[in-house]
A and B are shown apart, each in its own frame.
Chain A
Amino acid sequence: MKKVININFQGRILPIEEASYETLKQYIESLRQYFDAEEGRDEIINDIECRIAELCDDRLKKGAVCITEDDMRLIIESIGRPADFEAQDGFEASAPINSSNVKQEQFSDNGNDPQKRLYRDEQNKVIGGVCAGIANYLKLDPLLVRVLWILLFGISFFAYVLLWIAVPNTSASQVGGIRKRLFRDIDTKMIGGVCAGLSKYFGVRVGLIRLLFLIPTVLLVFNWNHFHLFQFWEFDDFPNFIELTFSPSAVFVYIVLWLVLPEARTTADKLQMRGEKVDINSIKNTIQTDMEGFGKRAQTWSSSFDKYKKPAGENETNKTSSSTAEGAAPEPAQRGGCLHFAGRSITILFKAFVYFVLGIITISILAALFGVGVVTTGLLPLRRFVLEDGAHNWYAYAIIVFFIWVPVIGIVTAIIRKIAGVKKANVWVRGGFWSLWALSWIFIPLFFATLTKSFSKQNEPQEEVYKLANAKVNYLEVSAQPKLKYYNHTWLKLEPFTFIDSDTVYVRNLRIRIVKAASDSFEVKYVRISNGKTLGEAERLASKLILTSINKTALYF
């Protein structure tokens, strides 16, 4: 039982088996790829489509119920597949060319193909043919690629699996686009369009893919900063596991894919990327939505293309003058390809590096702001030790909110919006964030001015003397109270304080000087110094300092 569908193909209604419809689509797609560089590509394909439609119609007129797979195969054979065109490269007289010979030639001859593609090599595969495919693509010995792969096993494993899934195998290339193809999507790109392309390929939200790449990268950055966030929850093994297996490779995989994947430039590429059926109408639709900004992109392409083309062209002229035309022809192309690849690699690696550094800077700034925000917010209940009531308080609140939390929230929102692929920038929100942050710059000098003012005056040192009357005790024992834990965490450990609540603070930064006594009586002199807005205020504050406890034999602080 076979499903038959009706299609409107070049103005003819054709009943066609679904399977042969698929074959037809693939065939047209393979033609489109073959004639891609041709000026009159669309016209050629249109002509061929017309002819196919006519041949199908003939078959139906002869009494066929529908176009079967056999019919389609015969029709396609009579017109010829791209592989046959290459083999013929002209036309055949009665002597047929040994076709298997020619096919082999195609494989080794890939360098002349202007649009080189990465395929998994099914013939020389060990696991999935990825290494062999990469070797073909880069014109390296597969062994070299495999050795490198094993050396980098931890890193390359993730990349291997991705490429295995995403890269079509060589047998697919014979028929044409059996699968969707993996491209870098330059229209919705953030960095290199890798995530966007992957999301199109797997049909998932782009944000998900970006998170997959971003989370390990962020963890990597946090690890570098010794921010062991997970230690808190005793998940010690968990982040370590992630760091080891994924974080370097997420960056690595991204760079590899950036290098290896072609950009989706032509409309056919873009449709293939999404796996949509490629016909004149869908191309027209895509072109229409695409026209804006196309001219600009075309210019940058052509300028970068010219840059690469020049050295290749120079090679060609040098070569042809020194050797026969036949020997020289493939080589310049190959060299041009190498140069092109090297140039592209350098730009991409450079870009990747810059983005990586920028990313680390952003994340570090964010982390620092977040840390400061948490600390200052956590200290808010203690503000009365430092701050006075009134305007001073409000300045502090304004600074914490506008200077620290506003940018934190702003950056996080911006990152999320970017990841989620939200293109439309909300001017009001962005403007709001920036102006609030700018506002905080007004409060900062005000705050510090009042702050320094309130600490500007120092009292006369108040001295209190305790005689150590008991002559039998001839020593002074100074011992700190058992350490009280506040937070045993690096960025929450507040060194001078041992214990804090909203109206008492146990201060640890007492200075004790032991000096030789002038007389033979032992004494402890207790000096209290405080700062305040006015002299009287400073004195009042100093008198409030309390020495915790005085024992006959020892002093406890």
Chain B
Amino acid sequence: MFQFTAMDIQNTQSQMRKGVLEFCILSIINKGEVYPSDIIDQMKAANLHILEGTLYPLLTRLKNAGLLHYRWVESVSGPPRKYFVMTDAGKEAFSVLLQTWNDMANAVSLLTQPPTPNTEA
């Protein structure tokens, strides 16, 4: 009936990644004021690779949605830089997302665990 091709798998993968991307970025910003390239570095450290070209539009969208705002911070070299901070709405949204993520993660790990053999015994 419904054939699940390699293309569909890719599609699903990218859907999954897309779903958590905002959450990951919000959790980094939630820890404190950051510069976009720091976000890239922190995600890289967690083995999640994102292009700056995809990060900037996302930040702009989150900012326009009222979850983030930015501050110009003077830098030693060159013009001031944009640092991003959570707004109150952002913090609220993050806590909801965190709750959802924890529930999801629990559910997924429960469902993906192989059946333990000692239940029968």
Contact = CB atoms under 8 A, between A and B. Distances in A.
A57 interface: yes
Contact of B51 (A10, A40, A43, A80): A80
B119 interface: no
Contacts of A93: 17, 47-49
A50 B72 CA distance: 13
Say which size band chain B's interface belongs to: 20 to 34
17 contacts: A47-B60, A54-B78, A61-B77, A79-B51, A80-B53, A80-B54, A82-B53, A85-B53, A88-B14, A88-B51, A89-B14, A90-B14, A90-B15, A91-B43, A91-B49, A92-B50, A93-B48
Interface in A415-448: none
A179 interface: no
A464 interface: no
A79 B61 contact: no
The 9 closest A-B pairs by CB, nearest first: A80-B51, A90-B18, A80-B53, A91-B50, A11-B79, A40-B60, A90-B17, A79-B52, A47-B56
Interface stretch (A31-39, A257-265, A404-412): A31-39
A79 B81 contact: no
A51 interface: yes
B10 interface: yes
B48 A91 contact: yes
B56 to A, nearest CB: 5
A88 B49 CA distance: 10
Contact of A51 (B21, B37, B54, B63): B37
Contact of B54 (A40, A53, A91, A105): A91
Contacts of B37: 51
Nearest to B82: A47
Name the residue in B2, B18, B21, B57 with the highest tally of chain A Cβ atoms < 10 Å from its Cβ: B57
A401 B47 CA distance: 87
Interface in A292-348: 324, 326
A44 interface: yes
Given A12-B78, A51-B52, 18 more contacts: A11-B79, A38-B60, A43-B60, A44-B56, A47-B59, A51-B56, A54-B81, A80-B52, A85-B51, A85-B53, A90-B54, A91-B18, A91-B43, A91-B48, A92-B17, A93-B47, A97-B10, A105-B7
Nearest to A12: B78
A78 B51 CA distance: 7
A51 B36 contact: yes
Contacts of A504: none
Given A35-B57, A48-B53, A84-B53, A91 B64 contact: no
Contacts, number: 93
Say which size band chain A's interface belongs to: 35 or more
Interface in A64-110: 78-82, 84-85, 88-94, 97, 105
Contacts of A324: 2
Contacts of B60: 38, 40, 43-44, 47
A475 B50 CA distance: 115
A85 to B, nearest CB: 5
Contact of B57 (A38, A61, A92, A97): A38
A303 to B, nearest CB: 26
A44 B63 CA distance: 11
Given A51-B37, A91-B17, A11 B56 contact: no
B47 A94 contact: yes
Interface string A15-37: 00000000000000001000100
A545 to B, nearest CB: 96
